[in-house]
Structure 1
């Protein structure tokens, strides 16, 4: 009798128990991977790979609680996005949104909260010390104004409006208040090609969804329009 024929006879009781135990564990591992993928799919926007609103909000609040004043809340709107969809088609619009998502992720780094809030609106919460804010926001503006090359070789000129707020300037770590101030700052500089940082006065500006342009109390950085 060859060794292959004798092999089953060499499996002892302990080996059988281990083999039997491995079956449910393997099944659970497969189930766990599947469950993780389902959770990730619910947390992330399928087009950009960014966090959806609820997942972004939860992560952003954890960052604010942990790091406090060394953070910035950044709001981003794509400029003239409807025109891109209307003239080049929705596939081109999707490509632009995906490119913005990739650029925001690269700019913010892996420890940040980067979310797509809906449509062409994005938000980022990241560690950003006060002495680096101007430089980093200028960098973001440049990245978001870099043309997007489509799969068919066409090039799309793109732009975005950027507003930011920080706890040390506004005197609050409340995410809603910071986003409202950053959004108001964004609309102060809408279509200007500049990043706008909310100053302390912006915390008291009344707003509807944070969208009240033309108010005082902002500092402006970035490229000229």
Structure 2
């Protein structure tokens, strides 16, 4: 079986060009993602390189080899640059061009200029480096959180494997660049980049759209003032966490936090000051939590946290760290220091069997008790309700506490 080399190159040109145009068109429809421009030009530049490379029997080596392969290397660099842009990272032009510079320097040596095999090996190594950088950037920036991100990493890894296979193959082949060849390895070396281009172009476009949808969903679920989940987003995320914890038999804890005397802040300093307090409060709490803890604003000055794992002591200790952090960070408002504190109600479901709503109801009763005791403290509603580090004034005796869990057992 023979393969028409010119046909393979023509197909590569058509595919690369179409993918580039598709990505550019997608950017023109919605110009908020500059990553699409980087990726579009990556394919367009690579298309020009393949056109020059396919005319090796017409053009001088300066164009059909040196310039052609330089453009193909730059195309790989532009894909990596697009991923950095997608992640909101600066794009170093030197990083894009360094591969092309290395190639041009290598081509000036007589050995590389006269050896097709050496050129294939160098190009494979440079492509491997850029592909690995692209995959690493996707992984580091959380690409695995999206299905299309995982697909992109998988394709890049597969492409790296195929590029690695080129190196031993290149040492064994004479690379007969005639109109037709019966060598399947020669056809594979031409077809694989074309198939990769189609797949990665489609996946990168899908990755952009998937993130756009996630951003839109997050906007609908986020409190615009504090940047944390709003009530709807909080309950959706908390319920997902509860179900996941239930499958693994992990305890689930809920914390309700209320900013003490928030109305006084609004009445004394104005609503703008109140907004500043809410923003700083949310930021302070968020810095204390882990990334996968669910944190949201569910009322005017009321916030809630739901997380899995951790026993009653650990949950109480976390709540106390949050209380102390808020107390230790007064708000600087127009040269006036506004001291704020928080009361925290905690409930723990060790089984877990309670709904999020039921767990928050138990935390709400504990929060009410924290306010009754004088505010700026933590009350844990569990098998033994108690005050943690009660400020001056002395704790209310435990036998005066009347909290109940969902089973109806008095917590006293």
Normalised by the length of structure 2, the TM-score is 0.44
Which stretches in structure 1 are left out of the alignment for 5+ residues? 1-11, 201-216
1:49 paired residue number: 227
Q: Secondary structure at the match of 2:350?
A: helix
Give the total of aligned pairs: 198
1:24 paired residue number: 25
Tell me by how many angstroms 1:40 deviates.
2.3
Tell me by how many angstroms 1:30 deviates.
4.7
Looking at CA atoms only, which structure, 1 or 2, has the larger radius of gyration? 2
1:218 paired residue number: 385
CA–CA separation in structure 2 for the residues paired with 1:39 and 1:116:
17
1:139 paired residue number: 321
CA–CA separation in structure 1 for the residues paired with 2:353 and 2:389:
25
Choose between structure 1 and 2: higher strand proportion.
1
Indicate how the Cα distance of structure 1 residues 23 and 164 shifts in structure 2: closer, same or farther if over 3 A, else same: same
CA–CA separation in structure 2 for the residues paired with 1:21 and 1:199:
58
Indicate how the Cα distance of structure 1 residues 29 and 70 shifts in structure 2: closer, same or farther if over 3 A, else same: farther
**Residue range with higher mean Cα deviation, 120-129 or 73-82:** 120-129
**Residue range with higher mean Cα deviation, 110-119 or 127-136:** 127-136
Indicate how the Cα distance of structure 1 residues 154 and 65 shifts in structure 2: closer, same or farther if over 3 A, else same: same
Find 1:194's aligned residue among 377, 382, 386: 377
CA–CA separation in structure 1 for the residues paired with 2:290 and 2:278:
18
Note if contact 1:141-1:193 (Cα within 8 Å) is conserved in structure 2. Answer: yes
Which stretches in structure 2 are left out of the alignment for 5+ residues? 1-12, 33-208, 393-412
Choose between structure 1 and 2: higher helix proportion.
2
Indicate how the Cα distance of structure 1 residues 192 and 118 shifts in structure 2: closer, same or farther if over 3 A, else same: closer
Normalised by the length of structure 1, the TM-score is 0.77
2:252 paired residue number: 71
Q: Secondary structure at the match of 1:166?
A: strand
CA–CA separation in structure 1 for the residues paired with 2:15 and 2:295:
50
Question: Does residue 332 of structure 2 align to residue 150 of structure 1?
Answer: yes
Aligned-residue CA RMSD (Å): 2.5
CA–CA separation in structure 2 for the residues paired with 1:168 and 1:61:
16
Indicate how the Cα distance of structure 1 residues 161 and 25 shifts in structure 2: closer, same or farther if over 3 A, else same: same
Indicate how the Cα distance of structure 1 residues 219 and 18 shifts in structure 2: closer, same or farther if over 3 A, else same: same
Tell me by how many angstroms 1:151 deviates.
4.9
With CA pairs under 8 Å and 6+ residues apart, which has the higher RCO, 1 or 2? 1
Note if contact 1:78-1:161 (Cα within 8 Å) is conserved in structure 2. Answer: yes
Tell me by how many angstroms 1:152 deviates.
2.4
CA–CA separation in structure 1 for the residues paired with 2:17 and 2:329:
62
CA–CA separation in structure 2 for the residues paired with 1:108 and 1:18:
43
| Aligned 1:79-98 pairs, distance under 5 A | 79-98=260-279
2:123 paired residue number: none
**Residue range with higher mean Cα deviation, 118-127 or 36-45:** 36-45
Q: Deviations over 1:57-82 (max 9, x none)?
A: 11111111112443310001111000
Indicate how the Cα distance of structure 1 residues 57 and 21 shifts in structure 2: closer, same or farther if over 3 A, else same: same
Find 1:160's aligned residue among 338, 342, 352: 342
Note if contact 2:242-2:308 (Cα within 8 Å) is conserved in structure 1. Answer: no
CA–CA separation in structure 2 for the residues paired with 1:145 and 1:128:
26
Q: Secondary structure at the match of 1:110?
A: coil
Q: Deviations over 1:169-211 (max 9, x none)?
A: 8x633111100000011101113322111125xxxxxxxxxxx
Question: Does residue 356 of structure 2 align to residue 179 of structure 1?
Answer: no
CA–CA separation in structure 2 for the residues paired with 1:13 and 1:70:
57
Q: Secondary structure at the match of 1:189?
A: helix
Question: Does residue 293 of structure 2 align to residue 115 of structure 1?
Answer: no
